[in-house]
Amino acid sequence: MPTAAGDPSEEGRLIAEIETLWEGRSNSGLILAGGDDCAIVQPPADGVELLLATDQIVEGRHFVPDKHPPSALGRKALARSLSDIAAMGGRPLYFLQALCLPQWATGDWHRAFQRGMRELASNAGLAGLALAGGDISGGDSFVASLTVVGCVEQGTAMRRSGARPGDRVYLSGSVGGSAMGLELLLGEAASDLDHPAIRRHCEPLPQLELGRALRSLPASAAIDLSDGLATDANRLAAASGAAILLDSSSVPLFAGARIENAVRSGEEYELLFTLPPGSDPPQGFATTEVGRVDFGTGVWLDTGLGRSRLGPEGFSHF
């Protein structure tokens, strides 16, 4: 996203708008964020590895324009990649945004979208996160693709592949709220945007501080819940070459959610993680023990009346 200075075009106007909205957000390692073909950043100190995460929001697949508030979409666009950084215990440094804007998404709508991102970036746990650049274009449908660069001490990043039989499985927060909120938001009646479930869906908070605390334990494996507990638990189990046994009575449910829906609720952005025997979860965070790692494959849900296999049945991007 080169600087818009002296550019009278619509692209130049939009870039200038973005630059103005993001004034004041800086990072000591950001040498050049605009005015040339690439951003220039100072590499982290020796012994530090970079984390790169990218995600996108696509009109018609991830949101409905006349239902989802633009500020909430901006917040979620940034939260998605930040949650990936959280799952590896990292610290976010910079991000790039590439936008495809149809005509209806310019003006006030676009400014509200940017403010949603800006508000999330202003969160106390995101000090130092800076916009490094990006790209912008017109088009028929809205697409926002964001890439976040983070860092972690060398060799300490949490992965999905470290869970071992005997480890205990934990979940942060609760699940089921995002799916409830989406159903309310897409309902025929006008939605109360202050409804707890709608706020849960529209205003996710990446678990960055928890991620760093887990890395320092260290946790044996972790993954963020972007596509649902069922889908993401299966990803962790497959990467670790083990089975995950979940106790349905222990899964923390958002108020009003049912277990059969909650395990498939996407866009929760909580962390599912495993700890080796003798290790306890970090203090000061809402975490619940929900199961254990065993020999075998797949994810299994124990309802007290029997055990059934829980397939990867969550949100699909296709």
Alpha helices in the chain (DSSP H): 10-21, 70-87, 108-121, 177-185, 196-202, 208-216, 229-240, 259-262
Q: What is the CATH number of domain 10-153?
A: 3.30.1330.10
The domain 160-309 having CATH identifier 3.90.650.10: the answer here is yes
Q: What pLDDT tens digit does each residue of the chain (318 aa) get?
A: 555 555 557 777 888 888 887 776 667 788 888 778 898 988 888 899 999 999 999 998 888 888 899 999 999 999 999 999 999 999 999 999 999 999 999 999 999 999 999 999 988 678 788 899 999 999 999 999 999 999 999 999 999 999 999 999 999 999 999 999 999 999 877 778 899 999 999 999 999 999 999 999 999 999 999 999 999 999 999 999 999 999 999 999 999 999 989 999 999 999 999 999 999 999 999 999 999 999 999 999 998 888 999 988 755 543
Structure-token match 């349905």, residue found = 248
Q: Which of 289, 288, 300 is nearest to 242 (CA)?
A: 300
Q: What global pTM score does this model have?
A: 0.91
Domain boundaries of the chain, sorted by first residue: 10-153, 160-309
